Structure 1
Amino acid sequence: MHFIWSILIGFIVGLVARALMPGPNPMGFILTTILGVVGALVATFLGQGLGWYAEGSSAGFIASVVGAMILLFIYGLVSRRH
């Protein structure tokens, strides 16, 4: 059940990130969900590395959105080169 809940939250995070910072081309349901889940992971590992979060804790919703927006920014830079 935790896995399904993570996917649902990841999808919501991906939608919010795409609304705040639209990418260069449209993404479907699966890519938006992946963006949100990976954004949450990026925020968690970055926050733990900087000492903002304790070991084993996860990032909050806003930090996950920021992580997803960082991924969108990097994706935009890479896709412009091609």
Structure 2
Amino acid sequence: MISAIISAVVIGLIIGALARLVLPGRQNISILLTILVGIVAAVIGTFLANAIGVATTNGIDWIELVLQVAVAAVGVTVVGSISGRRR
């Protein structure tokens, strides 16, 4: 259980950071929100990869990773625009 939480945080950090790198410009979102968006995006991306049948492949699951980063990029954009309006 603890290892699943730690791996979700690490994967969320990586996916969130990759999403921020993909997006142009500066995002008004904290690192904690980036991690949370990354964790949610990793779960949604894995669900989408399972739904289309590309989640389990030999080696690195590149399609799943691309889906996770794309979902995270959308999430960072949405959360950044929502938090940007409040300030």
Give % identity: 29
Give the drift of 1:75: 4.8
Which of 1 and 2 has greater Rg? Answer: 2
TM-score w.r.t. the length of structure 2 is 0.64
Cα deviation for residue 32 of structure 1 reads 0.3
Whether the aligned pair in 2 keeps the contact of 1:17 and 1:65 (CA below 8 Å) is yes
Task: For 1:1-82, list aligned pairs within 5 A.
Answer: 1-22=3-24, 25-54=27-56, 60-75=64-79
How many residues are aligned here? Answer: 78
Name stretches of at least 5 consecutive residues in structure 2 with no aligned partner. Answer: none
Indicate the RMSD between aligned Cα atoms, in angstroms: 2.9
CA contact (8 A) 1:10 1:35 kept: yes
Q: Relative to 1, partners in 2 of residues 1:76 and 1:4: Cα closer, same or farther, differing over 3 Å?
A: closer
Whether contact under 8 Å (1:23, 1:76) holds in the other structure is: no
Secondary structure at the residue paired with 1:26? coil
